[in-house]
Structure formats: C-alpha cells, structure tokens
C-alpha cells in the first residue's frame, strides 16, 4: 500500500471499493467450498469402505461457517471515528458541522450523558436504537441522552444510543463512516470501560479542545489510555472556539503558537506517536459553530454575504476544510489496513486449507475409484458416479481452487493498493 493517499474528492470511496472487492473474493471462495462439498457428497455415496476421512466433511462445514461469518462481518464493517473532550468544548457541534446538519443535540445546558453513535441508514427518516435493540423516534434522543433530563430510562455513561440518519442526506454517512460522540472526559469516566466498549474498533480519535483554555489533564489521561491500547493511534486535536480569538487579534498568533507547541509536545514527547512534522499536521484551529451555521444556511440556499463574515472567518473555514480532508485520508487508509488485512490473511489461509484438502481428496478419490472398479456391482455405482464424471469433477474443482489460490493475494493486494 502506498504511504500517502491520493487526495481526491472521493477518497472515502476507496473504502467501499476495497470492501466490495474483498467481499467478491470471499463470495468466490464460498462458491468453491460449496463445489467441493457437492463433489464430496457424490464421493461419499460410492465410498462404501469409508476410505474418505470423516473429518473431511466436518472440515468443509467448518470452512463454510468461517467464510460465511467473515462475509457477514465484512458487510457490517465501517470506518469509525470517536470524539472526546471536556463537556461543552463543542464535540456535538463539530460532529454536526461535519454532517452539515443538527443531527446531535447540542447547546449550553445540554450535556451528553452517554455515548451517541451516528450511522447512515437506508430508511428515509431518522430513528434511534437503544442498547436493548429497541427502535424509537429520533426526537427521544434529547430526553435519553441528556444528563439533566431525569428520563425514566436512566442510562449509564458508557451506554450507547445509535442514531440512524438517512445516509443520502450526509456524504460522510453515505461513505460508511460511523461517528461516535462521548460524554465529557471530565465526568469521572471509567476510561478502560469506555475504550473496551466503544473504541477498540475506532480508526481515528478526535480531541475537541477549547482554544480559550489549556488542554486539561483529564483530556490527556484519556489519550494516554488510548495509546496504551493502540500501537499508533490516529489522533487529531481540534482547538475549537477559535472564533473567540478574533476578539483579541493582538494575542492571536501568540496563543496559537502556544497551543500548537503544547499539542505537539503532547503528541510527540508524551504519547510518542508522531514526530514533530506529523504532529503539526494533526492540530487545527477551528470554529465548529461558525462552520455548522454556514453549512446549514448553504443547505437551505440562503445566500452568503462576505460583508457579514466575522474577522478571520474565511481562514477558519479553510482550516476546517483542511482538517476534513486530512481526516478523510487518514480514516480511509487506517480502516482499509486494519479492518480488511485480518480478513485477507484469514481468506488466504482458508484457500490454502481448501487446496490442501483437495490434494488429499484427490488421493482418496483415486482409492475410492479403484475399490469401485474391483467391486462386483461396479455397474450400479458407475451409473451413479462413473470414472469420467469423477475425474471431470475432481479436475474442475481443483483447477478452480488453484486459480483462486493464485488470485486471492493479487486481488486483495489490488484492492488494498491505494
Ligand atoms: P459538547 O458538550 O462538547 O458536545 O459541546 P456542544 O457541541 O454541545 O457545545 C456547547 C456550546 O458551545 C454550545 O452552546 C455551542 O453552540 C457552543 N459552541 C460550540 N462550538 C463553538 C465554537 O466554535 N465557537 C463558539 N463561540 N461556540 C461554540
């Protein structure tokens, strides 16, 4: 896989493309196993001396179950980004800005008291799914996820509500990205539990910090835990509320340099996950609220008036878009490498196993055939499955398997070569 992704408009699509190609490979593998199964069923009918090992049938069934399982996991695989930070730093607003809509509840006084995952849905209207699998109206999320709501269904901080949003309304959801919002890291979290329950399959972590204050130890602690669980986690740091800096233009450069220095030191010296240049590419200064308002207005077709833009608006907008571009490249590359590589090696070993099994089977089939030739009622057996038929099936299946064995690495490598 190339070290850098091409920065195209549709970089997200590479995940869906790779997923589709790998799914096709697994479908082919499944077809071949089923062909072998059919063949074995024929052989068993004439194998009266039980020359065939009884393990063969069991092994084949196991392979089918395994391949079907991988295929199912593949169909559910998606890219995942998790947002963390202190309460009211603007996590929900930032997610909404990326979704171009007010999908998550946010605002002063609204404190998200549990995890919220936003996923694309094929249905025309949004809805939510609670942890017990119950589907409810999307409006209920306000009540359920609000720390102060006093809702009858009291949720713990580590509970998860899934918000299923029509994917045709958001490009990012359509691209199979799942976005997770978390309760503030200042609410005495059980970090291990949070990570175990919601983060182990995350491709990217985003810390939404408040540009008006310094990064807190509570925020740092969470990312220390994350870097204990991942060898090299993908982390972005967003200094949000950067619009407030426009109020103090004299201090702006100084404040930015100080935030950058601290964030860089955190990613390099403390977490030891990036070098200095890499770290600088992971830190952004944004205004989620401005971005969300601008995008909602644009969606509604309200014309923009540059005369009304607050000071520094354009550069904050460009920086937000630059963050999104880097984020897309990063999550796509990471998800393809981590989510699919394990399936790829699983697929390869399945095909090799099958190929070996067939080689053994060839030998067994020869023995079975010889026995059949010696038997008095050969005529009857040949009627069911004669020598030519057996040779034909053996040859065909073996050829197909060999082709798949040869192709699987190439196909998968091609799928991953982005
Ligand atoms: P969360 O608790 O981290 O999810 O924070 P919210 O997204 O709910 O935001 C808390 C409050 O901060 C809301 O009133 C937002 O409108 C406000 N807010 C969010 N982002 C910005 C920003 O970039 N600039 C300013 N000035 N306010 C913001």
What would the mean pLDDT of 308-315 be, rounded to a whole number? 91
Cβ(110) to ligand 1 under 6 A?
Answer: yes
What pLDDT, on a 0 to 100 scale, did the predictor assign at position 388?
61
- Compute how many other C-beta atoms are within 10 angstroms of the C-beta atom of residue 145: 26
User: Are 112 and 88 contacting, i.e. CB atoms less than 8 angstroms apart?
Assistant: no
DSSP state letters, 192-252: HHHIIIIITT-SEEEEEEETTSPPPHHHHHHHHHHHHHSSS--EEEEEE-GGGGGG-HHHH
Beta bridge partners of 181: 83, 116
Cα–Cα dist 155/114, whole Å? 7
Pocket of ligand 1, candidates 85, 86, 90, 141: which has the most ligand atoms within 8 Å of its Cβ, to mutate?
A: 90
Query: Higher confidence at residue 124 or residue 376?
Result: 124
Q: Which residue has the tokens 């890291």?
A: 185
Torsion of CA 361, 363, 366, 370, to 10 degrees: -120
Residue 231, CA distances (Å) to 6, 223, 225, 334 in order? 25, 12, 11, 13
Binning pLDDT at 50, 70 and 90, where does residue 142 land?
Answer: confident
Q: CB neighbours of 126 closer than 8 A, spacing ≥ 6?
A: 103, 138, 163, 164, 165, 166
Cβ(243) to ligand 1 under 6 A?
Answer: yes
DSSP state letters, 251-275: HHHHHHHHHHHHHHHIIIIIS--S-
- State in Å: Cα 245 to ligand 1 middle: 15
- State in Å: Cα 92 to ligand 1 middle: 7
pLDDT exceeds cutoff 70 at 401: no
User: Are 131 and 114 contacting, i.e. CB atoms less than 8 angstroms apart?
Assistant: no
Residue 181 exposure: Cα atoms within 13 Å on the Cβ side: 29
- State in Å: Cα 181 to ligand 1 middle: 13
Cα–Cα dist 149/146, whole Å? 5
Cβ(88) to ligand 1 under 6 A?
Answer: yes
What pLDDT, on a 0 to 100 scale, did the predictor assign at position 23?
85
Cβ(107) to ligand 1 under 6 A?
Answer: yes
Cα–Cα dist 362/110, whole Å? 68
What pLDDT, on a 0 to 100 scale, did the predictor assign at position 338?
84
- State in Å: Cα 292 to ligand 1 middle: 10
Binning pLDDT at 50, 70 and 90, where does residue 8 land?
Answer: very low
Cβ(121) to ligand 1 under 6 A?
Answer: no
Cβ(287) to ligand 1 under 6 A?
Answer: yes
What would the mean pLDDT of 361-367 be, rounded to a whole number? 62
What pLDDT, on a 0 to 100 scale, did the predictor assign at position 85?
93
ipTM of the complex: 0.99
- State in Å: Cα 326 to ligand 1 middle: 23
Nearest CA to 117 among 200, 180, 203?
A: 180
Q: Whose CA is nearest to atom 6 of ligand 1?
A: 90
What would the mean pLDDT of 202-212 be, rounded to a whole number? 95
Query: Higher confidence at residue 87 or residue 350?
Result: 87
- State in Å: Cα 238 to ligand 1 middle: 13
What pLDDT, on a 0 to 100 scale, did the predictor assign at position 418?
37
What is the tens place of the pLDDT at every residue in 75-112? Answer: 888 999 999 999 899 999 999 999 999 999 876 555 67
Cα–Cα dist 163/141, whole Å? 8
Q: Phi first, then psi: what are they for 128, rounded to 5°?
A: -120, 160
Nearest CA to 194 among 181, 203, 208, 210?
A: 181
What would the mean pLDDT of 391-415 be, rounded to a whole number? 58
The token pair at 104 is: 């998550």
Share of the chain above pLDDT 70, in %: 78
């Amino acid at each position: 896989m190339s070290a850098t992704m091409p920065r195209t408009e549709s970089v997200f699509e590479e995940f869906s493309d790779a997923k589709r190609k790998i799914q096709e490979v697994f479908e082919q593998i499944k077809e071949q196993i089923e062909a072998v199964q059919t063949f074995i069923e024929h052989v068993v009918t004439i194998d009266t001396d039980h020359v065939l090992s009884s393990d063969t049938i069991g092994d084949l069934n196991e392979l089918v179950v395994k391949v079907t399982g991988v295929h199912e996991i593949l169909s559910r695989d998606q890219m995942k980004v998790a947002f963390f930070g202190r309460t009211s730093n603007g996590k929900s607003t930032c997610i909404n800005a990326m979704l171009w809509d007010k999908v998550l509840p946010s605002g002063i006084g609204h404190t998200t008291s549990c995890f919220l995952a936003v996923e694309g849905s094929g249905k025309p209207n949004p809805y939510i799914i609670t942890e017990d699998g119950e589907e409810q109206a999307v409006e209920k999320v306000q009540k359920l996820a609000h720390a102060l709501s006093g809702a009858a269904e009291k949720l713990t901080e580590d509970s998860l509500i899934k918000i299923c949003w029509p994917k045709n309304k958001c490009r990012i959801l359509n691209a199979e990205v799942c976005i997770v919002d978390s309760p503030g890291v200042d609410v005495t979290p059980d970090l291990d539990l949070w990570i175990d329950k919601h983060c182990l399959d995350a491709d990217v972590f985003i810390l939404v910090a408040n540009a008006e204050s310094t990064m807190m130890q509570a925020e740092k602690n969470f990312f220390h835990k994350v870097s204990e669980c991942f060898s090299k986690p993908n982390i972005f740091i967003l200094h949000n509320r950067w619009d407030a800096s426009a109020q103090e233009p004299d201090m702006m450069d100084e404040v930015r340099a100080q935030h950058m220095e601290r964030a860089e030191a955190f990613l390099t010296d403390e977490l030891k996950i990036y070098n200095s240049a890499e770290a600088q590419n992971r830190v952004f200064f944004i205004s989620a609220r401005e971005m969300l308002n601008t995008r909602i207005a644009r969606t509604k077709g309200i014309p923009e008036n540059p005369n009304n833009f607050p000071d520094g608006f354009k550069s904050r907008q460009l920086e937000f878009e630059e963050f999104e571009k880097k984020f897309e490249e990063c999550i796509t590359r990471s998800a393809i490498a981590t989510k699919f590589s394990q399936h790829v090696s699983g697929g390869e070993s399945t095909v090799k196993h099958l190929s070996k099994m067939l080689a053994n089977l060839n030998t067994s089939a020869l023995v079975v055939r010889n026995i059949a030739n010696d038997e008095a009622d050969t005529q009857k057996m040949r009627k069911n499955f004669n020598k030519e038929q057996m040779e034909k099936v053996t040859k065909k299946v073996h050829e197909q398997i060999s082709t798949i064995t040869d192709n699987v690495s190439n196909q998968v490598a091609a799928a991953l070569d982005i």
